């Protein structure tokens, strides 16, 4: 379970909170969508969960292990549990698909191995398994540079990279915003399957209301850094939507 308590983020030089005293409990295997218009704090919230953004105050823990207020070493360890996928995929373009996926194992190997990108046979098998899971198991494709892939293929590599971490949670910041509807569906279906079958918690930010309703077991509607709806998709009324998008 992920517990977020009284989380606040005020960026340096800003007078208002991007995330304003949020509290939330998220159960294992949930597919949760943060829904809301631009600037309500979706990315900030996701980035606080893996400490890419350091909260101003509040606490976050995963299965009882606190990830806020930790030492750098504890944080490295805690981050193994958290896979992240991005709107712009964030792959290393000049590296092969296989190497991009293997980089998801960097948190598990010694520094000298990490520096020389030496991965064990088990890690390579894990990577192949993850690639298969996202439907990319063509031998030629796996050797190709990541910048020679389509957007949908890149995002699937991004998911495979998160999967090889064997994470408890996958955070996804607008994962399909750069993709066309058909490819978006493929990516969302993979993420839904991961939440359901692997019981990996998926926490995602989305703009798209219809897509949120179709995939999420739980929607958290945000407005100005605060939660104004938390419930099942079918309970999200047009009145509430008007408030979220006011």
Give the interface with ligand ATP as residue ranges (CB under 6 A): 11, 14, 18, 36, 38-44, 205
Nearest distance, CB of residue 39 and ligand ATP, angstroms: 4
| Nearer to Mg ion (CB atom), residue 106 or residue 172 | 172
103 binds, among ligand ATP, Mg ion, none (CB under 5 to 8 A by kind): none
Q: Could you tell me if residue 190 is left (phi over 0), alpha (psi between -120 and 50 degrees) or otherwise beta? A: alpha
Strand boundaries in the chain, DSSP class E: 2-9, 19-26, 31-35, 57-62, 65-66, 82-86, 169-173, 201-206, 218-223, 226-231
Nearer to ligand ATP among residue 11 and residue 117 (C-beta)? 11
Find residue 145's DSSP bridge partners: 96
Query: Candidates 28-36, 43-51, 161-169, 182-190 — which segment interacts with Mg ion by CB under 5 A?
Result: 43-51
Alpha-carbon distance of 134 to 156, in angstroms, equals 6
145 phi, psi to nearest 5 deg: -65, 145
Tokens representing residue 212 in the block? 């949120």
- Closer of 40 and 179 to ligand ATP (Cβ): 40
Which residue, 43 or 165, is less far from Mg ion as judged by CB?
43
Q: Which stretch binds Mg ion (CB under 5 A): 28-36, 38-46, 74-82, 129-137?
A: 38-46
Query: Which of 43, 50, 68, 212 is in the footprint of Mg ion by CB under 5 A?
Result: 43
Residues 6+ apart with CB under 8 A from 224: 16, 20, 40, 41
For the CB of residue 207, give the shortest distance to Mg ion in the complex, in Å: 9
Query: Least Å distance between CB 114 and ligand ATP?
Result: 28
User: Residue 32 forms beta bridges with which residues?
Assistant: 203, 218
Nearer to ligand ATP, 142 or 211 (CB): 211
């Amino acid at each position: 379970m992920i517990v977020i308590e009284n989380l606040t983020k005020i960026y340096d030089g800003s007078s208002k909170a991007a995330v304003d005293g949020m509290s939330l409990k998220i159960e294992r295997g949930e597919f949760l969508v943060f829904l809301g218009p631009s600037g309500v704090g979706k990315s900030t919230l996701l980035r606080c969960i893996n400490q890419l953004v350091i909260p101003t105050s509040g606490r976050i823990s995963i299965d009882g292990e606190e990830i806020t207020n930790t030492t750098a070493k504890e944080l490295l360890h805690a981050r193994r549990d958290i896979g992240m996928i991005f709107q712009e995929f964030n792959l290393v373009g000049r590296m092969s698909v296989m190497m991009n996926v293997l980089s998801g194992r960097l948190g598990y190997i010694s520094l000298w191995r990490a520096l020389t990108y030496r991965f064990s046979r088990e890690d390579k098998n894990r990577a192949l398994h993850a690639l298969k899971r996202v439907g990319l198991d063509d031998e030629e494709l796996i050797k190709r540079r990541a910048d020679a892939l389509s957007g949908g293929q890149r995002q699937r590599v991004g998911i495979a990279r998160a999967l090889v971490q064997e994470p408890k949670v996958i955070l996804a910041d607008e994962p399909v915003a750069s993709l066309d509807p058909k490819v978006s569906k493929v990516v969302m279906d993979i993420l839904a399957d991961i939440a359901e079958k692997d019981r990996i918690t998926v926490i995602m930010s989305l703009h798209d209301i219809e897509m949120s309703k179709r995939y999420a077991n739980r929607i958290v509607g945000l407005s100005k850094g605060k939660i104004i709806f938390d419930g099942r998709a079918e309970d999200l009324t047009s009145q509430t939507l008007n408030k979220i998008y006011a």
